[in-house]
Amino acid sequence: MNEQGVVSLPTRPNGDCASGGEALSASELKERFDRLPRYIAERLNELIDVLNRSPAEKEEAIADLILTGMFPSTDARHTLTDLFKDVLNGDFAGYLSVGTATLSDCLASKANAVSPESFTGDELTPSDGAEYRCGTVAELSLTLPVSPSPAFRCTLVFDTPAGNVSLDYPAAIRWSGDDVAEGAFLPVGGRHYTVTLWYDGAWEAAVRGVDL
């Protein structure tokens, strides 16, 4: 470092000049190495400064030359500059995974969730984020979506009339809650049910039932 009088550290600093050294004395050698941490610190600060240059200067930034390997299918040229900019802007949800999707995708899905809607019929394939208010149901056949999102969740609300109730559903659902026996949901007549169905790698459902 020329400002401090150090041009370089030779391969053999205390060797003779013929072998590439400078024939340094013990005190001279110690002085050179005492200056080394300051030299490393200044070079590191210069590197940090380059890595943190503004996006307008990114054509000169080392960070723009370093690929992260993230998002290879959509942004093969994603660099450290892009990562630094997203972190600075607080847009970090796209880097966090929820199952096979990103947190930002899941948050967007929840933000666009379907409002409660009335449903009539005896066959239902629910959608993510929906709440189905089915009224009085004596017979219902439930079908699961083929490719659910990793954070799939929906709600079914219905009443059952007095007498027999027929609810057909896939065996893949694991039930818990009211009127569940030996892993099966067995609705009874004259009750108001709220069923929350979700997917977390397996299909789960929780049942709350109260008498009408």
Q: By three-state DSSP, how is residue 134 classified?
A: strand
Angle (nearest 5°) at CA 148 between 150 and 200: 40
pLDDT of residue 102: 67
The DSSP element (H or E) to which 157 belongs, if any, is strand 153-159
Q: According to the per-residue pLDDT averaged within each range, which of 43-47, 53-57, 206-210 is highest? A: 206-210
**Whether this model's pTM surpasses 0.85:** no
What's the CA gap between 131 and 75, in Å, rounded?
36
Of 143, 149, 140, the C-alpha closest to 198 is 149
- pLDDT of res. 173: 93
∠ CA 142-145-149, nearest 5°, is 135
% of the chain residues with pLDDT over 90: 25
pLDDT at position 106: 66
**What pLDDT score does 100 carry?**
64
Instruction: Note the pLDDT tens digit of each residue in 147-203.
Output: 888 888 899 999 999 888 888 999 999 999 999 998 899 999 999 999 999 998 899
Distance CA 82, CA 76 (A): 12
Mean pLDDT of all residues in 130-154: 89
pLDDT confidence of residue 11: 47
More confident residue, 182 or 100: 182
Higher pLDDT, 39 or 125: 125
Helix (H) or strand (E) holding 110: helix 103-111
Bridge partners (DSSP) listed for residue 132: 117, 156
